[in-house]
Amino acid sequence: MQLAGILSALLLATQTFALVRRGAPVDAPNALTCAFLIDFEQGVDGHALLNQHLAGKGVQWTERTSINNKFANFVSVQLVGDCQDADAIFAGLPRASSFSVVTSRPAPQPVISSADVGQPISDEAYHSITGVNDARNKLGLTGKGITVAIIDSGIYYLHPALGGGIGKGFKVLGGYDLVGDDYSAANPVPVPDDDPIDNCSGNSHGTHVAGIVAADARNIVEPGFEPAVPFTGVAYEANLLAFRVFGCPADNTGTDIVTAAIYRAADAGADIINLSLGGGPDYADEPDTIAATIVGKYGHIVLASAGNSGAKGLQVTGNPSNAQGGLSVASFDNTVTPLPYSLIDEQSYFYGLGQNNASFVEGQVLDIVVNDITADDTDLQTDGATNINPAAKGKALLLRWGSTTQGGSSKRCGYALAAGAAQCILYGNTDELVGIAGNKGLPSMFLSRAGGLALIAKIKAGGKPNFVFTTKQKPYPIPTAGTISSFSSPGLSLDLEIKPDFGGLGGQVYSTVSVHAAQVENYAVPYGSYSGTSMASPYSAGVTALLLQQRQARGIKFEEVRGYLQNTASPRHIYKSESVNSVAYQGAGLVNAFFAASTKSLVLPSAIALNDTENFKPSTVLTIQNNDVEPVTYELSYLSAATVNGYLAGDDFTQDATTTTFTEDQRAELSFSVNSLTIAAGASAQVTVQFTEGTALTPLPIYSGYIQISASNQADYPIHVPYAGVLGSYKSKTIWSRESASLLSRWGVPTGLPSVSTGLFADMDFNTLTEGAVINATTGAGLLAVASSTTRGAFIEIIAQGVSKRSSSLEAAGFNTSAPIYIQLTDLIGEGNPVTAALFVPMQRHSYAGAAPAAPPNVWGFFGKAYNASGYAAALPQGEYKVKFTAVKNFCILDSKNEDDFDIILSPKFKLSTNEVEPSSSASSSASSVAATTSTASSASSVATTGSSASTGTAVATGSVATGSAVTGTSTATVSSVVSDPSASTSGVPSASASVAPTSVPVIIASPTYAAPPAPATPKPTNLYKSGAVSTVASAFAAFAGFAMML
């Protein structure tokens, strides 16, 4: 068989009707059941064509949403009944160009302050780092005359800081509700109307986003709406449009809804469109991503949040921010954030409360006992882990924070509880505030180092400190100010394009919320601080509004807007490092409104993707445009950024943020055709830049840097053009993981697996499959399909051995032997052991822990079933088989005819037996021993340090793939929780509750029980991973991965 037309029925046009199918399969994990978006030629009546066509097919349908304007013409439909064979349903549809499955965008999950903000950041502190204050004070820019569309959960436009109304004469000019109040994951039925108000969602995400762009909370006199300190949004005189795509539950929307909102916003005249939603890692081929590029060509600038998956490592930016014609926005930490403080001898000191018990009372006076008065003098790292002061009984015990190797906050406060302490207070061993779990049994607190030393000094002096607990807040200088937020999703894109494009402020941004959300969050007034790239994107949208106001150019092109923003952004250093951060993390850097609006020069292209070594682009021609009224001299140089090492030698699994390293090697060298030139007023000139790659010292490192162009008319800031590339062959990077010691130790051993290599195993104990072994379909065999990289598509099929004989028996059993026969997989960890077809389009890469995106691998079982010609799971006849794992390689397409474009693993030949057997005691015993490893994750993690066991299959360079119709399927991701304090899961420590929730374990005949692994001890954060930099009491810098509403 030939590879031509692989997965053609799933994704591509039939030759007869040329109706292209894009995106996910019908049964994709995030697919809305029987919901499809059909694109039509411009000018035709899609409704009439659909009605006639589907009536002829005998298919009932209802409309979800539709668009017919100069940008697009599509109808999104909900089919009634069986829709598995969508290709047949839509085949022959006149004047249709493509169709795609509607996929969902999950719930918004704001990173919200845990208490009402008593003293928010002033404009002076808040807007200085981004040049917004200078743009106002020196250029008079406020966003006036610019319209920004907010595609989100709606806007509570009755808020006086947002104008108090909607329509002509108000800040919010109008908009549309595309879904209605009741739209949700459980009820994905749009009921649109003309009122986009949101006073019913729990976090008022859209209202918060709107306020970041254009709120004006000065001079507010309406009772209940006065902020503690007046503030303004970035472009406070801009107008807004509200397009509501989430209902009151705000837990789900569809890509068709978001796509329609983008086209509606552009048609309504929005200059800028903000989308603080999405998820990754993704390829830029979904309808909303395509829509962003289309409207961008018409001058409607789309900005979208890059994502909050920074903890997962490289290449996790999401859609729609990956759009080639849109702007992906990273998050930088703010300069200050409001945090609570308590009084020690009438002096204020910051603190953060333990997550497990925060039961302190306003005005409570704490009676302090120091556990070890010399702990700070001797740099004691284990204070409270090995020693407890017997005087702690009934007191607030003060402990010095330090190394967690012998116990973190849960363990230390647990010992304090056992000693009878009334409260547990940990003070810092550095100047950074750390988020702690604490212990459920007693109130726990992390106190600033200054506060702890003040208590100790008073006691050493023979006095008794007066410690008064308060919940009042004041601005706290953030140590990581102006550096990339740890949650911000890094690039590059999956095709090695430069994403994110740049960044805005996203950590602890104070803004408006609805009255309802204020009640839900227990705010005294409807304002709150949220964190995430969802905040960075509207901040950058506000900056873009100031830029457009200054340029006064309605016909300005997308490339020019991106150019001004990237040319004038400020590349930032890695936290606590002299190295400039990678372009993969910050794009061009932190936006600067004043620089972008005032520069008299423009350099294009404004970013340079150098690709990998095999596709290296050694030269680029820069066009420098002088828009000044006098000649300008330009000096060219370059600034290398840190190289990002996302892979370990001999380990094919993508590292996460804790083990990704940054080095000052493997860099490119640059030279210029001229190093200096003078360009006449209003003229332009070209300069050729030559790039020379460095030598790779690690697998597939990402090198990057910035071309610096100093202009004689703007001495304060140079122009920057970011560049980035990958050393090595990106296409040759394996998709299926074959060898990963890191995955084995961090996920495999805690899960109870002896191997983490992709392949079919001999049994449910995951023993290695050998040539000619027997697999019993009743007892089953383990299977792992571990994605070390994201791919456009992957599947696992059964290959019969002895073709002529086997074909007849397979066909007699109802299987189509002229097409791939996809096996059925059983999830051994998921509740209820759900089954799925072994077909994943696309397939996101896996990670060590946490929720989707980039969740840990599934633990699968194979029980001798596959999908027949009718699309149903059926038992395979007895006989000899191999299992074939196929994945599309990087840079390659699904319908490639080149066998080298697929990563293939072929299992050893085995005999499938369908004889039923009684469960054996030995199997049960083995199962128990394997499952027992899940309770000793911390000790087991040191067992496997040399590498994973041998792969259960053999990798082949080439292979044939059958053509034909595909059976679609879904994958249920395994979720492991992660705690910020490694001690939170430590056993053997006193707690208020001794009960432990039982683990739900699937029952599989004669097979081990596998459980999602406990949260492993997280390696010490390095470089960008600043999980301990700021107190999590305000949830300021928690990484919330996988949420569609990117905060």
Q: Which token pair is 521?
A: 């969050």
Question: Does the active-site annotation cover 534?
Answer: yes
Supply the pLDDT for residue 768. 97
Distance CA 868, CA 820 (A): 10
Provide the residue type at 712 as one letter: S
- 500 prior amide bond cis, ω within 30: yes
Supply the pLDDT for residue 946. 33
List the beta strands (DSSP E) in 374-422.
396-400
Distance CA 90, CA 94 (A): 9
One DSSP character per residue, 703-749 reads EEEEEEEEETT-TT--EEEEEEEESS-STTS-SB----HHHIIIIIH
Q: Which token pair is 446?
A: 């992390």
Distance CA 398, CA 15 (A): 74
pLDDT one-digit tens code per residue, 168-213 = 999 999 999 999 999 999 999 999 999 999 999 999 999 999 999 9
- 106 prior amide bond cis, ω within 30: no
Question: Does the active-site annotation cover 720?
Answer: no
Nearest to 506 by CA among 312, 682, 274: 274
> Low-confidence residues of the chain, pLDDT below 50?
1-18, 114-119, 918-1047
**Which residues are CB-contacts of 465 (< 8 A; sequence separation ≥ 6)?**
344, 345, 368, 454, 455, 458, 459
Supply the pLDDT for residue 435. 80
Letter string b/e over residues 37-64, b meaning 16 or more CB atoms within 10 A of that residue's CB: bbbbeeeeebeebbeebbeeeebebeeb
- Domain 603-730 indexed as CATH 2.30.30.100: no
The dotted CATH code for 337-477 is 3.50.30.30
Composition of the chain by helix, strand, coil, percent to 5: 20, 25, 55
Distance CA 590, CA 612 (A): 26
- Burial label for 137, CB within 10 Å (0-12, 13-18, 19+), is exposed
Supply the pLDDT for residue 806. 65
- Whether 337-477 shares its CATH topology with 603-730 is answered no
Supply the pLDDT for residue 476. 81
Nearest to 704 by CA among 536, 567, 586: 586
Measure Cα distances from 475 to 340, 792, 874 in Å: 9, 46, 63
pLDDT one-digit tens code per residue, 244-303 = 999 999 999 999 999 999 999 999 999 999 999 987 788 998 899 999 999 999 999 999
Q: Tell me how crowded residue 178 is: count the other CB atoms within 10 A of its CB.
A: 28
Q: State the catalytic residue, choosing from 87, 152, 198, 372.
A: 152
Question: Does the active-site annotation cover 193?
Answer: no
**Domain 8-106 in CATH: superfamily?**
Peptidase S8 propeptide/proteinase inhibitor I9 (3.30.70.80)
Helix axes 558-567, 533-551, angle to 10 degrees: 110
**Domain 111-335+482-598 in CATH: superfamily?**
Peptidase S8/S53 domain (3.40.50.200)
Domain-wise residue ranges, the chain: 8-106, 111-335+482-598, 337-477, 603-730, 741-967+980-985
Distance CA 142, CA 547 (A): 10
Q: State the catalytic residue, choosing from 342, 534, 941, 951.
A: 534
Supply the pLDDT for residue 97. 92
Supply the pLDDT for residue 1021. 33
Q: State the catalytic residue, choosing from 205, 208, 300, 846.
A: 205
